[in-house]
Structure 1
């Protein structure tokens, strides 16, 4: 049992919290889902900007584990050629 007179530890800020907003324990799953949806939206926007016209992401890992997620060999080649330009990847 903790000592009630001891100071409470500072609450950690969730990585997706905006502008220093502290999230309560119950907020994390909702925020995580919102962050996941935003990330997937950003993935699809980036795919379009890279010319991946037949790619659509619905989960953040990019695996084809769900029916709605799709890509083509042509888009994967475009992605690989562009990734080759990054020394961190190549």
Structure 2
């Protein structure tokens, strides 16, 4: 599902170079970067989970952070789906 959404975002991004309104391009860029930022944050948390002592983080904090990233990614995907459907 995520790959399908990313491909639709890429199509919209290409449309930015071919006459899509600047506001729409900014909208799609925000979605794209929100997804990437949450993905990078989840990777960093995963790295910290492999050696929590090195990063000074305990298990409850890791669990809270993983929960936050999962919730946030779900919201980003839902928002993206709404945007794709709304502009398809």
What is the TM-score of this pair, normalised by structure 1? 0.35
Higher relative contact order (CA 8 A, sep 6+): 2
What is the TM-score of this pair, normalised by structure 2? 0.36
Q: Which protein has the bigger helix share? A: 2
Q: Which has the larger radius of gyration?
A: 1
